[in-house]
Amino acid sequence: MLNNTQIRFCLDKMDEMFPDAHCELVHSNPFELVIAVALSAQCTDVLVNKVTKELFKKYKTPEDYLGVPLEELQNDIRSIGLYRNKAKNIQSLCRLLLDEYDGVVPRDRDELTKLPGVGRKTANVVVSVAFNIPAIAVDTHVERVSKRLGICRWKDSVLEVEKTLMKKVPKDEWSVTHHRLIFFGRYHCKAQNPQCPSCPLLELCREGKKRMKGREVVNGS
């Protein structure tokens, strides 16, 4: 497991590699972000942005999403995985926003998780990106990188990863660390083909050293 000095080194290197790390879901307000993040489950940001480019022209408010039949909304997002269920959740969350929050996206994470299709990760993204409230959302990239580097344990749950990162990263860096970890995982430390040979964190990375040792064995045989 990495100590605090080593974690600091990793975060600083990621900052050097990805100084412009940010939320890649295109949106212009908190409501659009909620919709975009809800659509992004098990789906790439690139595809979500492709769909929301037209979706956000047609639907501006919760009332707009409730003003069409479910089948029409499903058809508008059908290129996205799990589109039937996501369409139902979108209409349900829009209804709840109108009934309980006067159509305004709540700033509180616990309130956000009451919305259909909005889990802890989604809520953390929204409070962090839309409202600048410190939070660390743990997606597949954040979890993978944290475990490969040894910031967290392999057996840690998503919630445990979040709590460990909150403990080891300064609070005022939570949100930017979330984006840096995502960029590092999405573009460098990929799931299938991590770029270990060129990685500036290789000397600290337990997974990277193991992978490089495996390559040496293969190349030497």
Residue of 76, 86, 139, 168 marked catalytic? 139
Q: How far apart are CA 213 and CA 208, in angstroms?
A: 9
The residue type at 84:
R
| 139 in active site | yes
How many CB atoms sit inside 10 A of residue 101's CB?
Answer: 15
Q: How far apart are CA 220 and CA 102, in angstroms?
A: 66
| 110 in active site | no
DSSP per residue, 50-102: HHHHHHHHH--SHHHHHTS-HHHHHHHTTTSTTHHHHHHHHHHHHHHHHHHHT
How many CB atoms sit inside 10 A of residue 113's CB?
Answer: 15
Residue of 121, 147, 167, 171 marked catalytic? 121
Which residue, chain included where needed, has tokens 């979040």?
A: 162
Residues labelled as active-site residues: 121, 139
